Amino acid sequence: MQEARFYEKRQDMSVICNLCSHHCTIAPGKRGICGVRENQAGTLMSLVYGRLVSENIDPIEKKPLFNFLPGSTSYSISTVGCNFQCAHCQNWEISQYPRLHQGGIIGMDRSPNEVVDEAVLSGARSISYTYVEPTIFYEFAYDCSALARKKTLKNVFVSNGYMTPEVARELAIVIDAINIDIKAFTEKFYHKVCKARLAPVLDTVKLMHELGVWVEVTTLIIPGHNDSPEELRDIARFIHSVDPAIPWHVTAFYPHYQMIEVPPTPASTLRMARDIGLAQGLKFVYEGNIPGEGGENTFCPSCGAKVISRHGFRILKNNLTDGRCPSCGARVPGIWS
């Protein structure tokens, strides 16, 4: 447990948490929407500092990040809790744990030094803060990131993008890449499915890019919810307006949590989404969760040559030389080393 950051104290002993765009007003003895930040007698405390429920070594492609250190591994950590309540969450057992277990907090005690040492020993080239929304364990993630930088490790956030601009500006100092979910392009979807809003997410995409963090975007395509050509075109246009070199991952949904009656995403829908993204001028559009479709490969935006071949999270062949296309010599946008 550690005192939280980014909050305001009020005269009535309540606090306003400014970590994410919910801006929760929290009375004494109560918690914010995330379930892991508690007002204790007028002081906001993070209940999950160093309380890890997951520590794994993942391929960086699983985040997914395809134009960032391809073929490397990332030491991935998480606590319980989340500031979203997505009906389709694949990690709901930990993201919704406090909400489903009367405020329970679980996890193994870890220090930033221990996390960074384990990451170095594993041979990973980065640490990923992932599985739930990592902003909710911001204090621990920031301390780990600052220490990781000293050990020449990169830092990765896998995020719903709901952090406040103040948090994004500080976070950008210590992280190298972020994958942000644009879950849909309507406020209706965000309100109904995630209990949140779309606008702050779009603002974070733009701000992180402006701050020099490598950004990739993921959209999980859910049949009947966000899979219309018009909505996919709107997402692609937005990404293009920020930077056409931002990779867009269009990934397949599988029935889960509170959406078990929704059918899986057909491969044809992913192909349609990829075609829409490329038609809107995006340089990199990747299909995910259906390995072998062919939409996982990286092509040179200048000449169209295949520069990285993939199958799922596995690199089959990387033809890049110092980040350049071997066919035409053009620089391919990304962080390659």
The token duo for 204 is: 């974070």
Task: Give the mean model confidence (pLDDT) for residues 23-31.
Answer: 97
Pair of tokens at residue 138: 């911001």
Structure tokens belonging to residue 91: 């990690």
Average model confidence (pLDDT) across the chain: 96
User: Which pLDDT belongs to residue 301?
Assistant: 96
Amino acid at 53: V
Q: What is the pLDDT of residues 256-292, one digit of tens each?
A: 999 999 999 999 999 999 999 999 999 999 999 887 7
Output the DSSP codes for 52-121: ESEEEEEEGGGTT-SSBSTT-EEEEEE-S--S---TT-TTHHHHTHHHHTTT----EE--HHHHHHHHHH
Q: Which amino acid is at 22?
A: H
Torsion of CA 270, 250, 94, 141, to 10 degrees: 170
What's the confidence (pLDDT) of residue 162? 98
**Pairing relation of β-strands 154-159 and 126-129?**
parallel
Asked if pLDDT for residue 26 goes beyond 90, the answer is yes
Q: What are the structural domain ranges in the chain? A: 2-46, 51-296, 297-327
Beta-carbon count within 10 A of 314 CB: 12
pLDDT at 145 over 90: yes
Q: What pLDDT sits at residue 188? A: 96
Tokens found for residue 119:
């990451």
Question: Higher confidence at residue 293 or residue 164?
Answer: 164
pLDDT tier for residue 102 given thresholds of 50, 70 and 90: confident
For residue 337, what pLDDT is reported?
Answer: 86
pLDDT digits (tens, 9 = 90+) for 209-238: 999 999 999 999 999 999 999 999 999 999
Transcribe 130-194 into DSSP letters: -SS-GGGGHHHHHHHHHHHHHTT-EEEEEE-S-B-HHHHHHHTTT-SEEEEE---S-HHHIIIII
Residue 323 tokens, joined: 């980040």
Is CATH 3.20.20.70 what the domain over 51-296 is classified as, yes or no? yes
**Contact (CB, 8 A) for 83 and 18:** no
Interatomic CA distance for residues 69 and 216, integer angstroms: 13
Gap between the terminal Cα atoms of the chain: 36
pLDDT digits (tens, 9 = 90+) for 287-312: 998 877 779 999 999 999 999 999 98
Residue 92 makes CB contacts below 8 A (sequence gap 6+) with 86, 256, 257
pTM (2 d.p.): 0.95
Q: Cα 93–98–101 angle (5° rounding)?
A: 80
- Starting at the edge strand found earlier in the chain, the sheet holding 43-46 runs 2-3, 43-46, 37-40
Q: Are 47 and 1 in contact (CB under 8 A)?
A: yes
Averaged pLDDT for residues 135-164: 98
